[in-house]
């Protein structure tokens, strides 16, 4: 089970990298989830994983769905310090509903494009330019974020293995996946560098972008001195698609066989964020390279874009709340504090019994207690 705010996207990409067969399933429908996973497990010659995330299933359908496991179920349960999860929750982003541009061309003002990250508020449909600590209240409107014990109680026969989010962070992820491969019999990873990357991290809510390169824009490239945006080239089908994204996202979206990292071709020094990259299909990079003028203006545009992107990432990072902020807010709000206490006392029973070492490692939860 992959509850939100715990690194589930990263672990999913790690499983895919190791060749495991799974659906990254966010269906709200019981029938769709059942249909997808039933067909997945018909492929008996592969290592299959049922990806379960507590998102759209209500209590009735959750219990029905989980009770359908007739054989003993091996469960890998991803967990995290509850206060750290709430920190991620209150910092939760949403894309700018008015200015979320993912496809643009060489004439586009990248400073406007990079203003794409907004944050949730307690009012549905309203967004903010920075996180609001009061948004924490929203995450207590539903019980689905901490249903650890409740989930296990719906399964008849299981063996559970807990894994803390700390074990899949860059410094430990490769070794963790090797250990899991030994334990569960799937292919061991070999690309250590991939596991040292970050799935979302500082890029969350910003990447990916696609720059559409077309010779029509060669004399109208955006600069701070002039801005005459003309998006007409986006309607043409003979341009070049260049992705600005991360190595892990390319892998996650199963594009790594098509798109190659050509970052070094456009930059004279390493980027600030090692996991950030410029990806193209090899044949399209070849076309771009043949047109020296178009290549040069693209390179100049990208250097300015990445500089602005790095500044935007630093700006957004400075806005984020820390675990101490969450603890202080709970300290000042008795109703929320008591509600969280009651939830965790109920839902952490099993992990406290079977992996007290993990619970003891949760620094901020121990402070909350």
Measure the CA–CA gap between 178 and 44, rounded to whole angstroms: 23
pLDDT over threshold 80, residue 2: no
pLDDT over threshold 90, residue 263: yes
User: What pLDDT does residue 50 have?
Assistant: 85
Measure the CA–CA gap between 196 and 303, rounded to whole angstroms: 25
User: What pLDDT does residue 149 have?
Assistant: 92
Q: In DSSP terms, which residues pair with 160 in a beta bridge?
A: 75
pLDDT over threshold 80, residue 3: no
pLDDT over threshold 60, residue 58: no
Q: Which letter does DSSP use for residue 226 in this model?
A: B
- Kindly indicate the confidence band of residue 36, based on its pLDDT and cuts at 50, 70 and 90: confident
Q: Which of 359, 329, 330 shows the shortest CA–CA distance to 80? A: 359
Measure the CA–CA gap between 288 and 260, rounded to whole angstroms: 14
Residue 280 near residue 242 (C-beta atoms within 8 A): yes
Question: What count of other Cβ atoms lies within 10 Å of the Cβ of residue 322?
Answer: 12
pLDDT in tens, 298-337: 999 999 999 999 999 999 999 999 999 999 999 999 999 9
pLDDT over threshold 60, residue 351: yes
Residue 119 near residue 92 (C-beta atoms within 8 A): yes
Residue 80 near residue 163 (C-beta atoms within 8 A): no
Positive or negative, the CA dihedral 157, 163, 206, 248 is: negative
User: What pLDDT does residue 67 have?
Assistant: 83
Residue 131 near residue 322 (C-beta atoms within 8 A): no
Mean pLDDT for the stretch of residues 169-183: 97
pLDDT in tens, 240-251: 999 999 998 998
Phi/psi zone of residue 159: left (φ > 0), alpha (ψ -120 to 50 degrees), beta? beta
Apex 269 CA angle, 265 and 273, nearest 5:
95
More confident residue, 249 or 282: 282
Measure the CA–CA gap between 139 and 145, rounded to whole angstroms: 8
């Amino acid at each position: 089970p992959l509850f939100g705010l715990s690194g589930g996207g990263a672990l999913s990409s790690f499983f895919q990298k190791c060749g495991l067969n799974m659906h990254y399933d966010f269906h709200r429908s019981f029938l769709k989830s059942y249909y997808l996973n039933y067909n997945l497990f018909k492929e008996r010659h592969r290592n299959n994983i049922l990806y379960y995330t507590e998102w759209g299933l209500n209590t009735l359908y959750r219990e029905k769905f989980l009770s359908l496991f007739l054989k003993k179920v091996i469960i890998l349960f991803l967990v995290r310090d509850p206060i750290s999860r709430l920190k991620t929750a209150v910092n939760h982003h949403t894309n700018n509903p008015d200015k979320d541009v993912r496809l643009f061309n060489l004439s586009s003002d990248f400073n406007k494009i990079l203003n794409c990250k907004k944050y949730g508020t307690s009012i549905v449909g309203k967004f903010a330019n920075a996180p609001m600590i009061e948004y924490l209240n929203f995450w207590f409107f539903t019980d689905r974020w901490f249903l650890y014990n409740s989930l296990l109680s719906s399964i008849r026969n299981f063996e559970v293995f807990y894994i803390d989010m700390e074990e899949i962070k860059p410094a430990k992820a490769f070794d963790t996946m090797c250990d899991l491969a030994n334990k569960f019999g799937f292919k061991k990873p070999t690309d250590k560098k991939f596991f040292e990357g970050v799935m979302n991290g500082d890029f969350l809510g910003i990447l990916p972008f696609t720059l559409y390169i077309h010779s029509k824009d060669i004399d109208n490239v955006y600069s701070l001195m002039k801005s005459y945006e003309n998006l007409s080239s986006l309607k043409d089908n003979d341009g070049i698609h260049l992705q600005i994204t991360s190595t892990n996202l390319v892998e996650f979206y199963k594009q790594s066989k098509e798109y190659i990292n050509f970052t070094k071709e456009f930059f004279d020094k390493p980027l600030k964020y090692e996991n950030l990259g410029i990806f193209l299909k090899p044949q399209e990079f070849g076309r771009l390279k043949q047109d020296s003028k178009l290549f040069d203006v693209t390179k100049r545009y990208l250097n300015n874009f990445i500089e602005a992107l790095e500044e935007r990432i630093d700006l957004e990072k400075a806005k984020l709340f820390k675990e101490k902020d969450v603890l202080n807010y709970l300290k000042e709000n008795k109703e929320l504090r008591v509600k969280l206490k009651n939830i965790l006392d109920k839902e952490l029973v099993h992990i406290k019994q079977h992996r007290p070492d993990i619970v003891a490692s949760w620094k901020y939860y121990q402070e909350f207690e």
